[in-house]
Amino acid sequence: METRFGWTGKILKIDLTKKKISSLTTHDYSEDFLGGLGIGEKIYWDETVPETRALDPENPLILMTGPLCGTTAPSAPRLVVCGKSPMTCPERFVNASIAGFFPAELKKAGWDGVVLFGRSDTPVVIRIENGTVTLDDAAHLWGLKNTAARERIATVSGDKHKIMSIGPGGENGARMGTLLIDLAGSAGMGFGAVMGSKNVKAIVVRGTGKVPVADPEGVKQVRKKLKQMTGPGFHNLYENSMPIPGNRVVRKVHCHGCAQGCWRAVHRRPSGLEGIRKCQTVGFYMLWDMKKNGQVTDITFRAMDLANEYGLCIHEMLFLLLWIEWARDREILNEENTGLPLSDMGSLEFIERFMKMIAAREGFGRVLGEGALRAVEAFGAESKKMVLGFLTKTGRPSRTYGPKSFIISAPIHATEQRPAITSLHEICHPLTKWALWYKSKGEQSYVSTDVLRNIAEKFWGGKAAVDFSTYDGKAKAAVIIQNREYAKECLVLCDLVWPVHDDASTDDHVGDPALESRLLSAVVGRDISAEALDRIGARVLALNRAILFRDGRKGREEDTLSEVCFVSLQEPPADIFDMYNPERYLPGKGDELISHKTAAVDRKKFEKMMDEYYDLRGWDVETGLLKKTTLKELGLGFVVDSLGEKVL
């Protein structure tokens, strides 16, 4: 086979119903869709029909790496997980991603991705030893929590194998079931339940090969450049772990090939409890621990471990806990109708019973296992209103990096089933660094207002993107950001490192938006410009929208924001920007500072911004539908016939 650098050339395809193991050819997809999400979308488009439900055997579980994974490219340790998600309301195609060493091991075993179809009649473990793939009996593992299952697998396989597993939550179809890999990496959006619905307990992989790279020296140069840019003076937003009183960071842990590192680290409690902790997941039960016990105790720490053990998404756990407490205080929920010790929220017993019940889908756990937005349906309009205070209509967080702080994120929230966290991170990063500059008077960050404006000019289409006194320039910025981030999900790079907006090594401190294309070019041995990457991003985003339309999403009437976005309110911090900048200051014109602490989105201006957004995308302004001409220009003519009235 002809060597195509960056790829092994094969995607593992397993029909679990027929126990048939075969492969797809990566290069049939990679030319147009690059990798990761792009290839995942194309497989999903080709292999599914709109009626397929998330936990049907026909819903494929797609795990797809990018061309950089498993190479020496810096901070490219992720793979994209996609398919129809049981978590969104209604069930729709979305993607998640997962980082650690499993994705690189898969590549080294000679597989660019794995696509699972069908349902095994008995529980299995998929074992991949380089080119040899077997479906092993997993009856003895079914029902085990993640650690016990992984330990038993490791006893047989040895510690060199990398494992992706599910807990009882995924096995029993809890909609928030997660996939777990090494370094406590997990993927949400219910993909653990999708794997469980296929009767697959784990995928175990060992690879001893190498991923071919065309220009190793070129990759080294990009790595060196990245190191310079993020050298002395650079503020890594994710350097310091989330502050949990009592926790001590024992050591940092990095994913495969990571050049930077983040708050992923081994934490230790004074009691000696240890475990890997990352981002806000660390403290999802902290509020109730503190309310009950007057301080943060080991219970906060144990709650996180329990979520991993049962394989349940902590975001969804948090949404449910917020609603349960609210409903308890209004006597909508009580100990009789839930079977939970509601007066004991904050205890270990409560959180353990809560998760066990959800994971087993027993009693009230059947309701809770549906996720917050579906669970409240039977409890009246007030319950629904309560959760819609912090969730989008599709059941995702509405405030995190939301339009109330950053109006640039409004088109992303409006058009996507799951507002893409990577796009939201791209918006948040430079603005948080600017907030840090403002707050510390330049001590902790060099991203001054001038630097921020120059970053916006280079990365976001113009300085107007960061003038928050106006909605001008925001639609254009959103289009550019989404395109870049969709391309990034094809590459698949870590969004805690990429793109590199600011540069510690230059006087103007403005980063380099072409670094990703340089890296890709060096790996695959072909010149791929930043513009070409942008076009791939636009294509993959349009295919994403075509999938959503084909599966039932409506056009502009559905492209809106949560009602709460249009209401001025005093709200608690929701993200890293708020943490650094509680008043939510943002720059306006000149030296003007604007507080967005209680800001609401202006409905008329939002609609005008959406007009501009559709127009820039080449979509129909009135309906938000895709246009045939645009689809054909993007190389997506093949979707036209399937879209019927949803294309103009």
- To ligand SF4, the closest distance from the beta carbon of 346 in angstroms equals 30
Q: From the CB of 367, what's the least distance to ligand SF4, in Å?
A: 34
Q: Please report how close the Cβ of residue 523 comes to ligand SF4 at its closest, in angstroms.
A: 17
Backbone angles phi, psi at 363, to 5 degrees: 55, -130
Q: DSSP 3-state assignment of 163?
A: strand
The distance of closest approach from Cβ of residue 519 to ligand SF4 in the complex, given in angstroms and rounded to an integer, is 14
Residues in region 189-208 near ligand SF4 by CB under 6 A = none
Q: At its nearest, how many Å lie between ligand SF4 and the CB of residue 263?
A: 8
CB-nearer residue toward ligand SF4: 193 or 497: 497
Judged by CB under 6 A, the chain residues 398 through 437 that form the site for ligand SF4 are none
- In the region spanning residues 575 to 634, those forming contacts with ligand SF4, defined by CB under 6 A, are none
Q: Which is nearer to ligand SF4, 495 or 551 (CB)?
A: 495
What's the min distance (Å) between Cβ of 77 and ligand SF4?
Answer: 5
- Tell me if 213 contacts ligand SF4 by CB under 6 A: no
Number of residues that bind ligand SF4 (CB under 6 A): 13
CA 475 to CA 237: how far, in whole Å?
A: 26
Residue 510 has φ and ψ, to the nearest 5°, of -95, 130
Q: Of 18-26, 217-225, 250-258, 368-376, which part binds ligand SF4 (CB under 6 A)?
A: 250-258
Alpha helices in 509-582 (DSSP H): 515-524, 530-550, 576-580
Binding mask 58-87 for ligand SF4 (x = CB under 6 A): -----------------x-x----------
Question: Minimum distance between the CB of residue 267 and ligand SF4, rounded to whole angstroms?
Answer: 15
CA distances from 183 to 180, 377, 633 (A): 9, 36, 42
Q: Minimum Å distance from CB 105 to ligand SF4?
A: 15
Task: Pick the closer one to ligand SF4 by CB: 203 or 494.
Answer: 494
Closest to ligand SF4 by CB, 254 vs 545, is 254
Is residue 522 within 8 Å of 213, Cβ to Cβ? yes
Q: Which stretch binds ligand SF4 (CB under 6 A): 381-389, 473-481, 493-501, 585-593?
A: 493-501
Report how far apart the first and last C-alpha atoms of the chain are (Å, whole number).
42
Among 149, 376, 496, 536, binds ligand SF4 (CB under 6 A): 496
**Residue nearer to ligand SF4 on the CB measure, 195 or 497:** 497
Q: From the list 261, 525, 588, 618, which residue makes contact with ligand SF4 (rule: CB under 6 A)?
A: 261
Residue 186 binds to ligand SF4 (criterion: CB under 6 A) = no
The least CB distance from residue 158 to ligand SF4, in Å, is 24
Least separation, in Å, of the C-beta of 75 and ligand SF4?
Answer: 5
Choose between 125 and 164: whose C-beta lies nearer to ligand SF4.
Answer: 164
Dist CA 339 CA 72 (whole Å): 52
Work out which of 226, 494, 610, 639 binds ligand SF4, going by CB under 6 A: 494
Q: What three-state secondary structure class fits 184?
A: helix
Task: Pick one of 179, 258, 314, 492: the residue that binds ligand SF4 (CB under 6 A).
Answer: 258
CB of 262 to ligand SF4, least distance (A): 3
d(CA 383, CA 106): 44
Show the site string, 443-482: x = touches ligand SF4 by CB under 6 A, - = not. Answer: ----------------------------------------
User: How many Cα neighbours within 13 Å face the side chain of 39?
Assistant: 32
Closer by beta carbon to ligand SF4, 262 or else 376: 262
- Would you call 535 exposed, middle or buried from its count of C-beta atoms within 10 A (0-12, 13-18, 19+)? middle
Minimum distance from residue 96 beta carbon to ligand SF4 (Å): 14
CB of residue 68 to ligand SF4, shortest distance in Å: 12
CB nearer to ligand SF4: pick between 254 and 302: 254
Stretch that binds ligand SF4, among 57-65, 256-264, 313-321, 409-417 (CB under 6 A): 256-264
Distance CA 501, CA 456 (A): 9
Which H, E and C letters describe 139-159, residue by residue? CCCCCCCHHHHHHHHHHHHCC
Judge whether 74 and 497 are in contact, CB under 8 Å. Answer: yes
Any alpha helices (H) in 166-256, and if so which ranges? 168-171, 191-197, 216-229
Report the residue from 108, 127, 161, 264 that binds ligand SF4 according to the rule CB under 6 A: 264
Give the 3-state DSSP-derived string for 287-335, with helices as H, strands as E and coil as C: HHHHHHHCCCCHHHHHHHHHHHHHCECHHHHHHHHHHHHHHHHCCCCCH
Stretch near ligand SF4 under the rule CB under 6 A, chosen from 279-287, 453-461, 490-498, 527-535: 490-498
Pair 377, 328: CB distance under 8 Å: no
Give the nearer residue to ligand SF4 in terms of CB position, either 229 or 357. 229
Nearer to ligand SF4, 89 or 253 (CB): 253
- For residues 79 and 494, the answer to whether their CB atoms sit within 8 Å is no
How many Å is the maximal CA-CA distance in the chain?
67
CB of 185 to ligand SF4, least distance (A): 8
Nearer to ligand SF4 among residue 241 and residue 517 (C-beta)? 241
Cα–Cα separations (whole angstroms), residue 464 to 318, 428, 467, 505: 36, 16, 5, 26
Q: Which of 161, 254, 474, 501 binds ligand SF4 (CB under 6 A)?
A: 254
> DSSP letter at 631?
H
Q: How far is the CB of 404 from ligand SF4 (least distance, A)?
A: 27
Which residue type sits at 574? Answer: A
CB-nearer residue toward ligand SF4: 254 or 539: 254
Dihedral, CA of residue 254, residue 93, residue 21 and residue 113, to nearest 10: -30
Decide: is 98 part of the binding site for ligand SF4 (CB under 6 A).
no
> How crowded is the C-beta side of 585, counted as CA atoms within 13 Å?
15
Contact stretch for ligand SF4 (CB under 6 A) within 307-315, 382-390, 492-500, 591-599: 492-500
Q: Provide the β-strand partners of residue 162.
A: 205
Question: Which residue, 104 or 189, has its beta carbon nearer to ligand SF4?
Answer: 104
Query: β-strand 274-277 against 585-587: which pairing, if any?
Result: unpaired
Q: In terms of residues, how long is the chain?
A: 648
- Residue 350 CB partners (closer than 8 Å, separation 6+): 288, 340, 341, 342, 344
Minimum distance, C-beta of residue 236 to ligand SF4, in the bound complex (Å): 9
Q: What are phi and psi of 266, to 5 degrees?
A: -85, 120
Could you tell me the smallest distance in angstroms from the CB atom of residue 488 to ligand SF4? 12
- Which of 19, 25, 370 minimizes the C-alpha distance to 198? 19
501 near ligand SF4, rule: CB under 6 A: no
Residues in touch with ligand SF4 (CB under 6 A):
75, 77, 99, 254-255, 258, 260-262, 264, 494, 496-497
